[in-house]
Structure 1
């Protein structure tokens, strides 16, 4: 009790804290110099004592050095470890919770100017309220963590599946390009075989021409010698059928013109279009599915917008030919026919394999190519 009484004697009744620069007034009460100045009314005249209300003049303020020294000694002694549950400034039990400062305070702190405008709550009520909020927050954070861990598992799963897809794609690329390499190797061998065949044929023809020229030169040499001997023969021998050798000399002609040799086998590496043509198919049109305004070529491979027909037959062999195009007679309408868009299906059906076909558009005609699995309402 003596310690509590001593603390009360060393506490300013205005700020409820230890004296800071204590001063005495005419009535004998002591206050912090700063607290007293803040409590004065404007004007600078006499002011009432905050405790007994006795008037006192500002000039009557006297520093209380003894009280200041005692307060400082007590403050130093109190700077040791604060027991649990006590206020570090007033050594009072922490019975309140300050919502503004978010910390427990004692009853003396509540009366101080620092906390006069702050919201206070009993410490047990604040404990129960904040404990409930923390437990709810813990549950919410746990749910968020579970969601984040689930998302992490999904990311790991997606990454694993993606790696497997990448592996399969690399294998697919390898297989497809292996086929392409095999195809190009076969094409190379084919071109080399054609080139070898051309080389053999050209060499054979060259040999034939060389032999022919050799025979011609040999024949000419023989005629030259024979004509020379004939011209040097005696009169009677020279006139013995001279026309024969002259005729044979005139008929001996060099019927040969040199041919510039060229390589006919061209090195043409097949590009994408040539490769696609290996899978090219001819698509025939199913005329019984066509929109009523479409007309077809005789072979059924070409279609264009033409004269409208109110109804078309499902199957019919009666056709009118107009400039190579045919239109059907007016008969029962097909339930398979397109009614809203100028479309027509193909007769070909593909369920597997690789297939390629070309579609040519003229006169800025807009076309769309696709399957017939979703044709309702067309």
Structure 2
């Protein structure tokens, strides 16, 4: 079934093809996904989203053969046994798009996709925790999520074995080691992970959000995207490069402000839990949670002492002053990550087994 799914999956939305069409190079996509993808570029700049081959004519031809294959695959899915809830063995899962953007910058939540994610894990009335990462584009959010994914897929590991084999490719959420944006909108891993807590098991979903502060993206759209991610999520991670900078706090302030306005209309908390994750840390001193605790105190003091009255980022300061908010400092993983690796552990710098697990345990 998994091999067959690959043949009927759209590489744009990573869901089963809907109204499949073929283009010049022979690849297939959902008609709607391809239309939205091409609407953001000029006719001359149209390329295949999968192989990047030029598509000068921009033609989309309905593919009846693939449509028939999709219908047969859908019938097979209906015949599969229903999931058994938190006691069932974990499925592989895949990324699905929860929030899409239209050509005018409007956001649409795919409630059906979200419902499918919850139904696949047999969530029912069990508590759900959505763990989301937001932050500046091209700073490794999807890369990090794939390691959190590995950790959740190996809940019983007591050492660094959960990180995978030295030569194992890093798979899960789509990522690339270059400057081109990869994630568009908001995505989630389709299969919840059941995590034991004092109050019983909690269904955890990982959420990947398009990078903010993108010079190619309308600023208002970036803020709305991150604010929606905050409203959806129970556990929010703000991904920052090197050290906390004033623009990071300014954007977080705007995220929270928009989330407050929208959430107020639906009785939602603008932010439930916030952690700072400082990547490629160049901050002298201890790394990990211990160094992060010291650095977070410094950030709060800097905000209180350096800002004029009234405070420039009051909502950010309030969020970071909560007792539940934490900060983690992670080291630079090595030059080969930046120069274009495939996520293999071999050659990616020192294997810091203690860092990611600390965050996973905190979740």
| TM tier relative to shorter chain | under 0.3
Q: Kindly indicate which of the two structures has a greater share of residues assigned to strand.
A: 2
Higher RCO (CA < 8 A, seq sep 6+): 2
Q: Identify the structure with the greater helix proportion.
A: 1
TM-score between both structures, scaled by the size of structure 1: 0.27
